[in-house]
Amino acid sequence: MGDALLIERKGRVATLINNDAPRNRMTLAFMDELEVAISQLAKDDSIGAIVIRGAGDEHFSVGMNLKQFGEGVKQKGSFWGVLDQRLRVIRAIENMPKPAIATLYGYCLGGGLELPLGCHFRLAAAEGARIGLPEMDLGTVPAWGGTARLTRCVGRDAALDMILRGKMISGPEAYRIGLVQEVWPNDELQERAQDLAQELAAQPAAAVAGVLACIVGAGERSLEEGIAAERAAVKATWGTADQQEGMRAFLEKRPPNFHPDPDGDRA
């Protein structure tokens, strides 16, 4: 990777860091490097979960660097080319066969909320977080999937309240409306994200991928289609070494010892 995105590996967890402290703007270089990294990590069987954060401890991200927009149009060929890449990257995170965790602290605005909305877990700081989609102040609307994903996450009324009023909410308020799964003291937030990532990475990889495939797309499917996707995921995991180990461990009343490689556990 280049200088815009730092990647740290610890065990089966990769931490992706937007290296533009203190505000961690989502620059053109950051999005280019993030797109490559997500594609590579999605196929890397040594990694079971990822954490996405900003550099430093002041802000997750204030969103896109608007001063670069003209340059981005030249690079990507059009206004829509810039937006399409960002939508593509967030969708790639959302569709990864392994969990992605975002830590929300300080400013999490515009794209700085839309990217976490594409993650499977969001953890917020107990103090100082200002989370929102303030595009109304720019005379426009969220453009990286924020209206759709926020509505699915918190419901119509809360989404309207946040977006139309340009509200910036705290970590505890984000937890109250269901925008984040956990809230932690600021000095414990990053450590908790790492612990959660290691916990998730220790789960059977094929089963994790199956659950993500079923649940992430559930809102776009009918009940029958959702059940069919679930059946396909069961078929993909049943008979694997992990599934058999899980069954044995349950019967023997002991913790399971899962295999980390989803392609190497077929019994």
Q: Is 58 a catalytic residue?
A: no
Could you tell me the CA-to-CA distances from 260 to 10, 48, 124, 198, 221 in Å, in that order?
14, 8, 28, 12, 30
Q: What are phi and psi of 255, to 5 degrees?
A: -65, 140
Contact 35, 25 (CB under 8 A): no
| Cβ-proximal residues to 203 (8 Å cutoff; 6+ apart), any chain | 48, 258
Sign of CA dihedral 82, 84, 87, 89: negative
Contact 195, 152 (CB under 8 A): no
Residue 213 token pair: 């495939």
H-helix or E-strand spanning residue 7 = strand 5-10
What count of residues does the chain have?
267
Give the separation between CA 13 and CA 47, rounded to whole angstroms: 6
Active-site residue (options: 35, 94, 114, 127):
114
Could you tell me the CA-to-CA distances from 162 to 142, 143, 154, 166 in Å, in that order?
12, 15, 10, 6
Q: Is 225 a catalytic residue?
A: no
Q: Which of 161, 179, 163, 166 is nearest to 124 (CA)?
A: 179
Q: Which of 47, 176, 145, 62 is nearest to 101 (CA)?
A: 47
Active-site residue (options: 35, 135, 188, 225):
135
Known catalytic residues?
Answer: 114, 135
